[in-house]
């Protein structure tokens, strides 16, 4: 994966993922790094592997322009991304 600038951390996290692919912390960290590098499709898969990181999944969904779906994911949870979803 060729990533520049923000992508350096993503590359480092991919190395960490190889050593512990089931770690929710690594999956979440990798997802956020991919988000920073605008790799939304890749980030979404890692957000789903980090099951407890709802904000990550919502952020990916918003970045992809799927606002209605992001609002459904949020449901009744209070988070800073609900404001972004409503614009």
Query: What pLDDT, on the 0 to 100 scale, is given for residue 7?
Result: 64
pLDDT per residue rounded down to tens, the chain (87 residues): 444 555 677 778 788 888 888 888 888 888 888 888 888 998 998 988 887 778 888 889 989 999 888 888 887 566 666 666 666
pTM above 0.75, yes or no: no
Whole-number Cα distances in Å, 25 to 22, 42, 49, 50: 9, 16, 10, 7
Q: Cβ neighbours of residue 72 under 8 Å, at least 6 residues apart?
A: none
């Amino acid at each position: 994966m060729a990533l520049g600038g923000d992508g350096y951390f993503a590359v480092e996290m991919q190395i960490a993922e190889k050593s512990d692919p089931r770690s929710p912390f690594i999956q979440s960290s990798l997802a956020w790094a991919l988000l920073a590098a605008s790799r939304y499709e890749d980030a979404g898969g890692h957000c789903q592997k980090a099951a407890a990181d709802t904000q990550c999944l919502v952020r990916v969904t918003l970045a992809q322009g799927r606002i209605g779906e992001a609002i459904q994911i949020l449901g009744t949870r209070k988070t800073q991304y609900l404001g972004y979803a409503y614009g």
